[in-house]
Structure 1
Amino acid sequence: MKRYINLEESNYISNYCVIEENSVFANGQKLFELGNTSFSEFAKAAYKNFEIDYPKFFKMDNLSKLAFLTAEIILRNTTESEKENNIALVFANQSSSLDTDAKYQDSITDKENYFPSPAVFVYTLPNICIGEISIRHNLKSESAFFVFDAFPSEFMQNYAEMLLESGKAEKVVCGWIELYKEKYRSILYSVEKQGKSEHNKETINQIYTNSLWTL
């Protein structure tokens, strides 16, 4: 029997999280803020503030730490570690894993201290951060990481709708995870059958452009 996809059914954005400028926002509320410091120090402080217990966090590259922290706010009260969670992840950014790529290249080009690190090399693909989140929350649905010149709100909307209406996921976490050196911004939002705001291009763009916007 063929399954027909009805893209006219409404889906909703149930919550969102934004991390930028050493601050964490969720659904328009500021949850955490740290003064002028590096991303590395901010990530450690945020990890401690939200009482996360996942030692592998400290071995991740910065892009994965950023994605992991944002997803933790979105998923920490909605997933169960003892069972599989049918939640898809659809991420995008502009610079791919360039921040880690550059660090790995430095380890190769230094002729006096030549030591290409496998621990760094493993993160030279942007979708590795999806794997870290999937392991943490036992996610078993589809996942993808795309590279675009700018935030692809229409693409994200269509991709999430397709996953939900085809039954490939019960919920989709979408967003933008951008980090290069000390410049970073992460926006993740969850889409499902029930929620507060209708899932459309206008709402997605509102979340992307205004971290204090309320659903």
Structure 2
Amino acid sequence: MDFTTVLFYIFSLLLVVSGLKVITSRNPVASALFLVLAFFNAAAIWMLLEAEFLAILLVLVYVGAVMVLFLFVVMMLDINIDVLRRDFRRFVPMATAVGAIIVVETALILWRGYGATSSPVRDIAAGAAAGMSNTKLIGKVIYTDYIFAFEIAGLVLLVAIIAAVGLTAQKGKDSKRQRVSDQVKVRRQDRVRLVKMAADKPQPETAERAAGAAGGNG
């Protein structure tokens, strides 16, 4: 067992552990941070597989943009953990059914992609033999064979951006917004009022009572 294989098992173990912590952690912020750790481990595995472009793309896009946005959304929405725990059992049947469907679909994709072929259609060695880098080879495959899926991914990202802006622009009943036009129209006489008041003078009765009290004490 060489050093590369040892690194692969280490990163794979960290990836599995961080993935389990994502779904078992009770704190949403901690789950997001464990997901960031899982992305870094997956990027390291891709680096070991000589897929540098995918590794850098994973760190820049998911860790640098999507996860930061997710953290801001979690902190902004102020999710009530007690409500989620109280209604957890109600969603167990639906979550189990959806999870089973995802497992079956993944198994079918893996069987058709790997079980039905005796050798991989494309590999890194083929691109290296043709004098192409993995970045150029991935770009060629994406924009020729998977152009429709690439466009769909762009639409999904656009929807995510619009949703983030919509959540940020929600108007609360207690929120106050700055209106530049109203600030420009403000005049001094509408906001500031100068009042002339006479100096305070003691009332006659108050002065007599004070003098009487002073004489009684003497």
TM-score tier by shorter-chain length is under 0.3
The structure with the greater share of residues assigned to strand is 1
Q: Looking at both structures, which has the greater relative contact order when contacts are Cα pairs under 8 Å and sequence separation is at least 6? A: 1
Bigger Rg over Cα: 2
TM-score by length of 1: 0.22
The structure with the greater share of residues assigned to helix is 2
